[in-house]
A and B are shown apart, each in its own frame.
Chain A
Amino acid sequence: MVASAIEAIGIPTVLVMMFKEVAEAMRPPRVAHVRFPFGRPLGEPGNVAQQRVIIEDGLNILVENQVPGTIVDLPYRWKREDYEAILAQRSKTALKA
């Protein structure tokens, strides 16, 4: 609802959320769906690397996604990822580019 109102006034949005069924019903313009516990859309409290990974993915969806109403499923399995390694890999890729 909020995302759509902001988009309707002319500002692009991306929404990170856990409740996929609600996303499917509400159809916000751009959604990053995470299979995280409710109340933790960007990750664990204090886990800076995890939060940065999710936020960066959200910003990438903002740049790259051109199909209205698309829900992107992010693959991360809560605590069982090495988020530091994911960030390190990304900065390496960015340097190459």
Chain B
Amino acid sequence: MAVETTDLLRDLQANYSRAAVSRIKYLTRRASEEEVVEFVNGLIVKSAEAKYNNSWEELERFLEEWETVMIGRVAGGMKFPESSGVPWASLTKPIDQCRIALVTTGGIYTDGQDAFEPADDVSYREIKKGTPQSAIHVSHRGYDISGPQEDVNCVLPLHRFDEFEQEGVIGSLAETAYSFMGLIRDATILKDSSEEVAKKLKANDIDAVFLTAT
């Protein structure tokens, strides 16, 4: 029986968009044939041992090691802005007095707004406080968007922060959240629109910003 090693992982490629394989999927594009063989052999042995010993921790560690190596290779192929130090601002008041704004790169948009381009789209969408789940849409080819399509709070926590405001955990949630779409190969092209959003936040007296990347 002759099997091409790359065929071994074909189903993983077919399942590319599922959240559970989102960290290991890079094996299909980033591993050599020798590594694929090593991975599959290791997977068989570790799975069998896990079942035999009723202990899944070794299998989990095995998967995490491979995820880490492959994700590292993906990052190695990306372009980042030249580092010029880390900017820093300090909180000026306690969290329960802060006006907090939300920002995400999860590709969220709402009824009446345009979807994002498939890649390298530097535009952003303004998401109003109180937007119900039924008005939320997502366009992002880099991850399994079924999460925020079902519950936006796993990416953009609009409703969790509404609750925090009502409970007095934070001072208030800003009227507007901002969503970018993070599938951008060269992060430097985001400079202008990032600065535009920063100015809007400043003009609205925002005390702190909670961001998520997907």
Contact = CB atoms under 8 A, between A and B. Distances in A.
A2 B157 contact: no
Given A2-B190, A5-B195, A37 B144 contact: yes
Interface string A43-64: 1111110011001001100110
A38 B95 contact: no
B78 A25 contact: yes
Interface residues of B, number: 66
A51 B153 contact: yes
Interface stretch (B27-35, B43-51, B85-93): B85-93
B147 interface: yes
Given A29-B86, A41-B155, A59-B210, A22 B78 contact: yes
A48 B158 CA distance: 12
B105 A39 contact: no
A87 interface: no
Contacts of B39: none
Grouping DSSP codes into helix (H, G, I), strand (E, B) and loop, the B interface class, with mixed when no group exceeds half, is: mixed
Nearest to A17: B213
A6 B55 CA distance: 46
Which bracket fits the contact residues of A? 35 or more
Contacts of A25: 75, 78, 80
Interface in B102-161: 103, 105-106, 140, 142-148, 150-151, 153-155, 157, 160-161
A41 B88 contact: no
A40 to B, nearest CB: 5
Given A12-B90, A27-B83, A37-B20, A6 B198 contact: yes
Interface in B183-214: 187-188, 190-191, 194-195, 197-199, 201-202, 206-214
Contact of A68 (B88, B103, B142, B151): B88
A21 interface: yes
Nearest to A59: B95
Given A11-B207, A16-B211, A38-B142, A2 B75 contact: no
Interface of B: 19-20, 22-23, 64, 71-72, 74-76, 78, 80-81, 83, 85-91, 94-95, 103, 105-106, 140, 142-148, 150-151, 153-155, 157, 160-161, 164, 169-170, 180, 187-188, 190-191, 194-195, 197-199, 201-202, 206-214
30 contacts: A1-B188, A3-B211, A4-B86, A4-B194, A5-B194, A6-B201, A6-B209, A6-B211, A7-B88, A10-B202, A11-B201, A11-B206, A11-B207, A13-B208, A13-B211, A14-B209, A16-B212, A19-B71, A25-B78, A25-B80, A35-B64, A39-B140, A39-B144, A39-B148, A42-B155, A45-B154, A52-B160, A55-B157, A68-B86, A68-B87
Given A2-B197, A11-B89, A41-B154, 14 more contacts: A4-B86, A11-B198, A16-B213, A19-B71, A22-B213, A25-B78, A28-B211, A38-B143, A39-B22, A45-B146, A48-B160, A55-B160, A58-B210, A59-B169
